[in-house]
A and B are shown apart, each in its own frame.
Chain A
Amino acid sequence: MALCGVADTGSHSMDKSITLPPDEIFRNLENAKRFAIDIGGSLTKLAYYSTVQHKVAKVRSFDHSAKETDGDPLYEISVQEEITARLHFIKFENAYIETCLDFIKDHLVNTETKVIKATGGGAHKFKDLIEKKLKLKVDKEDEMTCLIKGCNFVLKNIPHEAFVYAKHADSEFRFQHTHPDIFPYLLINIGSGVSIVKVEAEDKFERIGGSSIGGGTFWGLGALLTKTKRFDELLQLASKGQHTNVDMLVKDIYGGAYGSLGLTGDLIASSFGKSATTDKEFSKEDMAKSLLHMISNDIGQLACLYAKLHNLTRVYFGGFFIRGHPVTMHTITYSINFFTKGEVQALFLRHEGYLGAIGAFLKGAEEDNPNQYSWGENYAGSSGLMSVSPELNPIQRARSGTFDMLEMDRLERQLVNLPLLQDATSYIPDTVDLTEDALAREYWLYCFEEALDGVVKRAIASQKDQPEAVERAEKFRQKYRHKLQTLRHQPFAYGSLTVRSLLDTREHCLNEFNFPDPYSKIKQKENDMALKYYLKVVKSVEELSWEQRQFNLVKGLLAGNVFDWGAKAVSDVLESDPEFGFEQAKQQLQERPWLVDAYNQWIERLKGPPHKCALFFVDNSGIDIILGVFPFIRELLIRGTEVVLASNSGPALNDVTNSELQILTERIAAMDPVIHAALKEDRLALVQNGSSSPCLDLRKLMLCEVPLRLDKVLATVVRERGTDLVIIEGMGRAIHTNYYAMLSCESLKLAVIKNSWLADRLGGKIFSVVFKYEVPSKAQGQH
């Protein structure tokens, strides 16, 4: 019976000055195109597409046909400009709309843009203004269609988009791990009325029901009862009231519970029932609270009836009634729990306010096929979820009254799951959720803040030739520090907070200020140095007995992994003592038994038949890859196992990138006939993993084989080669993420814990060794 219609604006006057410099809000307007606007009852959401030019580090091999001299570096590093696509979404109060349109008009260069897609109840009200100011034709799109399109888009592209709200839990927001298949779901949009929409596929949805008792009823009836005009103020009143003064409870009728039906005494029997029988004054707060309960319970009940009828368990709530208000999220959650006895969970969305704008934009951009790409939230350019508890964070609350931004970057390709995951739907990459683990959160936030100076120093050093790098690095420092501070107060701002997300945020911020690869020079130096020792290491290993050799290779792999600029303990040592050598690292390692020690099982396995194909997710450049990984895989190759080395597509810390690894592999092949033959016979292949993070999300791999079969996804590689062993190396990939990942083939997860706090938490000391060898249980599925 009702719709997602929009309410009249509260008639309060609003300061029209913009509090942030507008060019930091409407970014990249100079090449913006494809505008869309969603004008709601009080907020306007603007969307556009832009291309961003930013620097990327490239490596290029020198021509080594000429006679080499000892001092020559292995490859050259150059910085190139790259253009990537970005989506911008900005949310602001309707009061600013004219100022914003003026700003856009003044900065809009692109003359190709002729149309602006518009949706939302306010679209027709501002149509003339938009057409006059921007000289763009307003093209209206159906509100519900936009909403659903937007909802599909965020659910597909943003991990941790949906969350469960738990008022009294340690973390109010419990983020959901997105199911790869988002359909079917139910969207309950609570605008002035309520619309209940069943979504079965990208373009298949149906409004299956609704109710006229919605946000407009709360606002309208609330205004009549309490003489309070604004929606937010009504919610404020409600949060202070006692509904039991106004409502007739079961115990008011029964004197206690209605036991035979299982109705507790505190249950509301009749909303506003007491105001019908008692002759007294009721407080505004109590009436507002009673009204809030009445409406939330009613919506929750209808939602449950529809969910049951259509057999759906995923129910998302949106609309201005919800929009991040803890009070309404709490009452709706309570109602859903009550009516479904926990069978259905009320889910909310981090970017709920943007759905209409995203959908309208997608409608207008259909020819660009935005849905065929994967998009990722840019943490540097997005405001994140506000804390909406006013008592918790008054300053942040005030900010939400001005501008809020979301930016999404186009990822180069569609990302896919690693086919070897035992259960992709239940796979959670991150080992610790810092949103829920307050102690760990505190430590890691402190850790990243401590490391910031070093990162800034390194960033400047990587661009010594550019004097303004200092200034940029300073801006980076401010931005990242601000992000860390935000996360301290609102750990839920960007979904589940994890070590991975902290690292990724840092990479996004570095990129934002054009520091694409601060470690490029260090990596180059280390690679050069390590290559010189390669043959020596290989030779010394070859002389050992089989048993000794295996142990030495594993130790080498682990020792190599000590060389990690990502870990502060190590970067301190590396910086103060550049001679910290491979052998010394081996001595630093923990003696067996290790913290996690499955070495004996591994050795027993090696005595058996060789693996068919090993997929190795590598970590750092320099000693790690050259002196640790290569001798190890060399042994595998000799045993008759094919090897696929998966490395990062883009730079992150001192992790070896795919382009660097290609050069290194060629150089090693030139020295070592075993590697040479393996490359030639395609028994050794290199793939990029699609990531620019020191961590690894096995759900988001873009795996294409380089250089021979460029567009082949890993799925094919894994299947064709019959991969039966996955090796994951390093703290970022094997400890912070994937520690608990269950694979359908044998796996080896190894790392040296280079952080005393983490070591302590795992029950060990710094430089403790994790050597986890797992074989999937054969009996699986027989139970």
Chain B
Amino acid sequence: MLLKKHLFLISVLWKPWSFPWFGMDIGGTLVKLVYFEPKDITAEEEQEEVENLKSIRWYLTSNTAYGKTGVRDVHLELRNLTICGRTGNLHFIRFPTAAMHKFIQMGRDKHFSSLHTTLCATGGGAYKFENDFRTMADLELLKLDELDCLIQGLLYIDSVGFNDHPECYFFENPSDTQNCIKKPCCLDNLFPMLLVNIGSGVSILAVYAKDDYKRVTGTSLGGGTFLGLCCLLTGCETFEEALEMASKGDSTNVDKLVKDIYGGDYQRFGLQGSAVASSFGHMMSKEKRESISKEDLARATLVTITNNIGSIARMCAVNEKIERVVFVGNFLRINTVSTKLLAYAMDFWSKGQLRALFLEHEGYFGAVGAFLELLKSSDDA
């Protein structure tokens, strides 16, 4: 009897993790948001659920686009995920950082602050917008380190898998364009890995264990550079547009190849004629500048940035003596030109020593990591 009563009390008083469950990563260009939609809500809960919480859930799950620029990546949704005793779906949403103030206003309008939840945020914007959240929407952010979140999020998603499929993939025959195919893979042990996160800029981490990593280096030539240069060179406005153009262009009209200088291979140094000798090298000549298309320029920009990241990542891998190189970040979203090129570059320049790995939820790991922190912090409380 006593025990029964006790259990009853627990179920009434214990409100461990009040909904909504969010994790947010505010980057230089994009805000990434993960939202856990509980699917095991009891009728009782349903009744208790406050109105604005219900409306948030309804707004997020019934739409795939928010405002002009917010998007839910439906194809990435993780279904029937059980976490902290609750089962539900994990949704992946993104919108431009430029719309951050609109988002904060929305939080105010929906009286988010009345929900008594903690908003876990990572990325530079967690610091930059902290004060705006406080003053505009009466919200306190729990700020988290972006690299910690990135790694925890990545390890978590890799462990739960992608709706019964592996999260990780690689390219078979990366050096053979005809037979280069994407192959899912399960890795028994990820460590040590070189983690290359390509957002607006690039961070390169050497990860030795769950809680043991260091930032090796970074480069400012990242996704932001690709899009920035594409906008200036072609007048395009979005990443999708830029990639669409790039997919149709030919970079060899823009880049100077080894064979353009030497007539063929540069044998003295074992360089193939088809290797790029000078990115945008043809653009030194006026006639060539006048003869190329926007698509060619977009393609050359993409190839230049991608090869450069590949080259730095490879050098870091060699210096750190790590063979697995994992590429993540939103630069790789819908960007098979780059993923294949990275796979090729790793394989070719290392003579097969290095392997490039990719993850399906490429840009969302920071947000997932922040989301995991939310659950952990409530646990501690």
A residues with CB within 8 A of B: 1-3, 5-8, 10-11, 121, 142, 144-145, 191-193, 207, 209, 211-217, 219-221, 223-225, 229, 246-248, 250, 252-256, 258, 260-261, 268-277, 282, 287, 294, 297-298, 301-302, 305-306, 308-309, 339
> Is B276 touching A308 in the complex (CB atoms < 8 A)?
no
In whole angstroms, what is the CA distance A271 to B266 when docked? 32
State whether the Cβ of B364 lies closer than 8 Å to any Cβ in chain A.
no
| A–B Cβ pairs within 8 angstroms, 23 of them | A2-B279, A3-B266, A5-B262, A145-B268, A192-B256, A192-B284, A193-B256, A215-B278, A219-B283, A220-B284, A223-B284, A252-B28, A268-B201, A269-B224, A270-B200, A271-B224, A273-B228, A275-B231, A276-B200, A276-B224, A276-B227, A277-B224, A297-B220
Q: Does B224 contact A1, Cβ atoms closer than 8 Å?
A: no
At the interface with chain A, which of B5-13, B86-94, B120-128, B149-157? B120-128
- What's the nearest-Cβ distance from chain A to residue B218, in Å? 8
CA of A260 to CA of B146, assembled, Å: 10
B276–A220 CB distance below 8 A: no
A13 to chain B, nearest CB (A): 13
Known: A271-B221, A297-B220. A144 touches B268 (CB 8 A): yes
Contact (Cβ within 8 A) A213 B200? no
Q: Write out the residue numbers on chain A whose beta carbons fall within 8 Å of the beta carbon of B123.
A: 253
Beta-carbon contact of A207 and B215 below 8 Å: no
B 193-245 contacts with A by CB, 8 A: 199-201, 215, 217, 219-225, 227-233
9 tightest A-B CB contacts, nearest first: A220-B283, A272-B228, A270-B224, A253-B124, A216-B278, A273-B224, A255-B128, A220-B280, A216-B281
Contact status B124-A250, CB under 8 Å:
yes
B29 x A298 contact (CB < 8 A): no
* A2 with B315, Cβ < 8 A, contacts A213-B304, A270-B220, A273-B200 known: no
What's the nearest-Cβ distance from chain B to residue A124, in Å?
9
- Cβ of B248 to closest chain A Cβ, rounded Å: 19
- Residue from B123, B125, B225, B284 with most neighbouring chain A CB atoms (10 Å): B284
Contact partner of A193 among B127, B281, B318, CB < 8 A? B281
CB A255 to nearest CB in B, in angstroms, measures 3
* Distance from A676 Cβ to chain B, minimum over Cβ atoms (Å): 65
Give the number of chain B interface residues (Cβ < 8 Å).
66
Interface residues of B (CB under 8 A from A): 27-29, 96-98, 123-125, 127-129, 145, 147, 199-201, 215, 217, 219-225, 227-233, 254-256, 258, 261-262, 266, 268-269, 271, 275-286, 289, 297, 304, 307-308, 311-312, 315-316, 318-319
List the A residue with the shortest CB-CB distance to B261.
Answer: A5
Q: Separation in Å of the B339 CB from the closest CB of chain A? A: 19
> What is the bound-complex CA distance between A191 and B223, given in angstroms?
26
In whole Å, how far is B258's beta carbon from the nearest beta carbon of chain A? 7
**A339 to B276 Cα, complex, angstroms:** 25
A5 near B280 with CB under 8 A, answer no
Nearest-Cβ distance from residue A251 to partner chain B, whole angstroms: 8
CA distance A216 to B145 in the complex (A): 39
Given that A220-B278, A253-B200, A309-B319 are known contacts, is A3 also in contact with B261, CB under 8 Å in the complex?
yes
Q: Say whether A1 contacts B256, CB under 8 Å.
A: no
**Docked pose: A211 CA to B297 CA in angstroms:** 19
* Whole-angstrom CA separation of A122 from B125 in the bound complex: 51
A253 and B28: CB pair below 8 A? yes
* Least CB distance, B238 to chain A, in whole angstroms: 10
CB distance from A234 to the nearest CB of B (A): 10
Chain B hits for A294, CB < 8 A: 220-221, 225
For B147, what are the chain A residues with a Cβ–Cβ distance below 8 Å?
Answer: 261
- Tell which of A142, A217, A247 touches B278, judged by Cβ atoms closer than 8 Å: A217
User: Which residues of the partner chain B approach A142 to less than 8 Å between Cβ atoms?
Assistant: 268
